[in-house]
Each structure stands twice: as C-alpha cells, then as structure tokens.
A and B are shown apart, each in its own frame.
Chain A
Amino acid sequence: MTMERRDFLKLIGAGVGVGASGALFAQSSGQRVVVVGGGFGGATAAKYLKLKNPGLNVVLIEPNRQYVSCPLSNEVLGGEATIEHLTFGYDGLKKRGVTLVHDTVTAIDPQARKVTVSGGNTFTYDRAIVAPGIDFRWDAIKGYDEAASHAIPHAYKAGAQTTLLANQLKSMKDGGVVIITVPEYPFRCPPGPYERASMIAHYLKHHKPRSKIIILDAKESFSKQGLFMQGWKQHYEGMIEWVSGSKGGEVESVDVATRTVSSAVGNKHPADVLNIIPPQYAGKIAHTTGLVDPKGWCPVNVRTFESTQHPGIHVIGDASMAGAMPRSGYSANSQAKVAAAAVIASLRGVPAGEPSFINACYSMIAPEHGISITNVYMVKDKQLIEVPGAGGISPMDATPEFRKLEVVHAKSWFRNVTTDMFT
C-alpha cells in the first residue's frame, strides 16, 4: 500500500501526468539500475533487466573480470572438473548492453541513491540490486583469520582457494587425515560440505586409499543426510567419519602451524589437510550500507526482495533472508528474476506482480552417483514458503540408472544456468 503511494508521489514529482494515457508505461530510457556483484544473483539480475526492458540503463559493478562458479567446484577436488570449466566472463552481458564496471563498491548512499567505487567514481541510481554473496566471520574461530586461509583453505569461494585445497590433497601422503569443519546454519550451499567430502573421498579412493576424512560438524544433522550416508557406504565404506556437534564436532580454535583443530569439548584433531568452512554472514557492502540485521543477514520484502531497511535497494542471493529458500546458485538466479521484475514494475510506477521461485541443488557423490533436492516457492502472508506438496529429495532406493541420470542432469543444469546468467 505505502509503496504504491510512494511510487504515485514519485510520478507526480517527476512531472508525469497520470491522466495522460500510457504515461505509466512510458519512459524507461535514462532510468538507471545499478547492480552490485556479478555472481549467480547479480549477473542474472543484470541480464533479466535488459531482457525485459532493453531501454533501461543497467550498470553491473563487479571487481573481478572473470567469475568462478562455486557450484561444481567440489568436482575440481574430485578431478571431475577443472577451474576453466567453472570460469566465465562478462562479454555476453556487455553484448546485451549492460555497462560493466570492474571495481569494488566502497559505499552505497541509500538517501542520495548513489554508489561509490574504490576508484572514486560514483553512480547514481533509480533502483539498486545488491548481490554481494557471503563474507566469512573471521572472528568466529580462534586462530582462523583471513591470513590463515592462505595456508588452510576455506575453499568456500571458488578459484584460488579451490586450487589451494586441490593441491594440498595432491601432495598429501597416503594414509593422511583430511578434516573438513562445518559451521552452524545459516551458510551458503547447505549440502556443499558433504558433496565436498564425497568428491575428496573419490579422489583419495583412487590415489591414496588408506586416507581418511573426518567431518567436524557444529550441527546435529545435515542436508540430504540419508542419501549422502547411503552413498558413502556404497562407495567409500569406512573412509568418511561424520562427527555431530553434540559428539564433539563443534570447532573452537585452529592452530595453523600444526594444522590442529580444537573442539568445543576440548578434543584435539591434527590434520594432514585441513579445510575450515567458517561461519558466514552477508557480504561486506551489505554491512557498510546498513542492510543487515543484528545477525548479519539482509531482511527483505520477499515479494520484491526490496530491503526492509533501505527502500530502493533490493538484496538477492546468499546475502538475503529468503525464508524457506536455501542459499544456492539456483535460488539466487530465481530471486534475481523476481527482483528484476519488481524493479521494472516500480520504475513504471505499477505494483510488483505475484512472485514464483524454484530451487534445485544437485550433489555428486561419485562420478555416476548424483542426488538432488528441489522445491517450488511462493509468498503467502508475507512469508516465502515451499509450495505445499511439492519438492523434496531424490528417493533413497533409486536405481543406478537414476543416480547416473542425476549426474548428467546436474551438468546440463550447470550449462543452462550459467548460459542464463552470462549470455
């Protein structure tokens, strides 16, 4: 209600005669949308803004010239993909007329509707879409800060970190111990740590079969748990040990020099290769802009993904609080389309339509063993919820053909979603 009134007032302020027929749909050229962040959320948003309204001036600000996908990066550890497979450029978006600015956003002024980049340039906007992804809480685990991550990778942002972890696995001796630590929810890609354990086990089974993997988990259960455990028993019997929070899985500190994890209950776990997945919150710019709640994530109106703290700014992807949707690449891609449609509606002075979302997440347990979780989402009573009766995980008793199909469909998904983002 209030949003409609505000938009109405904006139209009056802009001198658009409401009585003039067609005025509400006129004039998109010159209106500017700034998109901050060029990942699954931001790249998709920039593309769909142009796709749906070519007259819009769309500026995408992203520090990196190439994007490395987190989805499928665990497959690099298993030797089933290469970093090149996961690397994308922004030429396709440029061809669509998106203005690319490769710089880091240092400030967003929600009142002046202005974005400042580290080079000092500023960009004013009519609407902004902020998709900063996650940052790590470097103060959460004693001894594990950003400097430590150069020796002990998190590999939870793909690229150099993925390569670092892959190289450490390659130089590890047979019979070594790999430890993966998993934080409490919320974190990006809930099945990610367990797919990682699977892909590392796949590598070790073929190259260093006497090695072991220990997962130290702050939680009591995990995504697709039954399916993962079944797959581990089938392919990696005795190789992967999962320790839940109450059994000593919660991490308190890390000693970088000895690659030793100390748990909250006082156990010490020395590792040959250590992978710390730290607790997370919304990317830095969300904090400096005041888009986050006390827990560090961005509350939004889930119909439009407009920030409830700063009107005019939409937050999508991992940084946003999207109700029942998990933090995933597909979720971000789907939310980007809803946000783009809401931005376009708002700039036209019409209310946003009813949103609809899908998420699907594949995990590879072995090269011919894939599993998935999916759902369809809707908004009801201002909550983003799963459509009742839909979605779910792959069946427990599936045939080998079914498991193999989920691997090829995962690869097909990756081709499609990245093409949807970058071309």
Chain B
Amino acid sequence: MKMKWKGWALAASALLLASGTARAAPTAEMLSDPCAGCHGTYGNSAGTTTPTLANHSKQSLVDAMKKFKSGERPATIMGRIAKGYGDVDFEAMGDFFSKQKFHAANQPFDKKKAARGAELHSSNCARCHLEDGKEGKDASPVMAGQWLDYLKIEMGLYTSGKRKMSDEKKEKVQPLSATDLEALLHYYASVTR
C-alpha cells in the first residue's frame, strides 16, 4: 500500500513538472495580495468600477474566475489575469476573500430609486440574492454595498447579451425596464452592513 501511494505521488509530481504552468503553490494570502492593486486591500475596493471581493462566497468567486478564464464572462483585463491561475489557485483565493470583512462602499445613491428598488428586490431577486443582497445563494454574488458604477457596468453587459444570464436570472431580469433595473441597483448601493 505504502509503495503504491509513493508511486502515485511520484507520478503526480512528474506530471506537474512536465506541464509548463505548474508551480509550487503560493499561500492563499500570497496569491490574493497582488489583487489589491485593483480590488483594494483584502478585497475591499476603493475604486468605483472594480468590485469589492471581500466576504463573497467562495463559490461565487471561484465561479467568476473560471468564467473570466474561459472567456464566458466578458472583461477588459480580468480574463487576461485569470489565465495566470489554475483551479487550485481559484479555490485558495476564493477561500481567502470569502473570509475577509466586507466594508460597504460609502457612495451616494438616489433614495427614491432605492425605495422602488427595494420592492423589486423582494419580488424578483431575493430568492438568490439573500438577506437584502448581503449574501448570495450558491454562486450568486454579494450585491449589498457593492459599487454602483460596477453594478451598472455588469447589468449593462447582461442586458446587452454580452454576459450570459442563467435561465432563472433571465426570467426575473427580462421583464424589468431600464428604469426598474436602475432603481434596483440604487437599492443595493443603499444597503449598508
């Protein structure tokens, strides 16, 4: 038995050495700290168009990185960066950011729009964006306290068809007007934690 395991380990390391991209694993922290250049220290973004990553579920972060890497999710720069990592790295980074404290963005929002958005959230979105958007079901991201500029960019990608919606999401988003969607995003911008 012991010999057999050793054999497996040897074969596995030989495989790793043979593949060009293999590297010794940096810690989750080491992999994640360089992300701060665009996503803020420990994943709390200070810039309005790059999202805060802190306290998202690990699953939503890993899912996002895989989709950036494959090109399924449109990006300017993120796809090029995601190609620098493997699934094990995504898991490590997802785990790291999921454990960081979330600081809601301090940003202006329209109160009237936010009030209308609150109703829409309850009727259309609350089944996946749980707890007023503070938590996400499965791979759903945190919405509450996220930057409004970022949310608008992503919603624009969804409605223009560039970013693929799940059937579940499509069913809830498609009936909403542009004004409704705007209100919804103001609502998420208004929720502090």
Contacts and interface: CB of A to CB of B under 8 A. Distances in A.
B77 to A, nearest CB: 5
A330 B80 contact: no
B25 interface: yes
B24 A390 contact: no
Interface string A314-352: 000000000000000010011001100100000000000
A199 to B, nearest CB: 20
A356 B153 contact: no
A266 interface: no
A316 to B, nearest CB: 13
B37 A420 contact: yes
Interface stretch (B4-12, B45-53, B126-134): B45-53
Contacts of B40: 416, 419-420
Contacts of A376: 81, 83-85
B46 A419 contact: yes
A391 B45 contact: no
A357 B34 contact: yes
Contacts of B84: 358, 375-376, 387, 389-391
A10 B46 CA distance: 41
Interface of B is mostly: loop
Given A360-B77, A374-B81, A375-B84, A388 B20 contact: yes
Interface in A284-317: none
Interface residues of A, number: 44
B24 A354 contact: yes
Interface string A407-421: 011011111110110
B135 interface: no
B83 A389 contact: yes
A214 to B, nearest CB: 31
A134 B62 CA distance: 39
A402 B24 CA distance: 35
Nearest to B83: A390
A409 B33 contact: no
A79 interface: no
Contact of B47 (A48, A378, A416): A416
B36 A356 contact: no
Interface residues of B, number: 35
Contact of A402 (B26, B76, B81): B76
A341 B27 CA distance: 11
Contacts of B25: 354
A416 B37 contact: yes
Interface string A36-64: 00000000000010010000000000000
A391 B35 contact: no
Contact of A419 (B29, B34, B41, B153): B41
A367 interface: no
Contacts of A414: 47
A416 B34 contact: no
Interface string A236-269: 0000000000000000000000000000000000
A134 B181 CA distance: 49
B166 interface: no
A1 B159 CA distance: 56
A400 interface: no
A419 B149 CA distance: 18
B76 A412 contact: no
A354 B30 contact: yes
B2 interface: no
Interface in B117-172: 149, 153
Nearest to B33: A337
A391 B47 contact: no
Contacts of B193: none
Nearest to A408: B49
A357 B84 CA distance: 10
B81 A416 contact: no
A402 B34 CA distance: 24
B81 A388 contact: no
A417 B33 CA distance: 11
B83 A391 contact: yes
B23 A413 contact: no
A7 B33 CA distance: 26
Given A341-B30, A408-B49, A411-B49, 14 more contacts: A48-B33, A354-B25, A354-B26, A356-B30, A356-B34, A374-B81, A376-B81, A376-B83, A409-B49, A412-B45, A412-B50, A413-B50, A416-B36, A419-B40
- Top-4 shortest CB links A-B: A376-B84, A412-B47, A390-B84, A358-B34
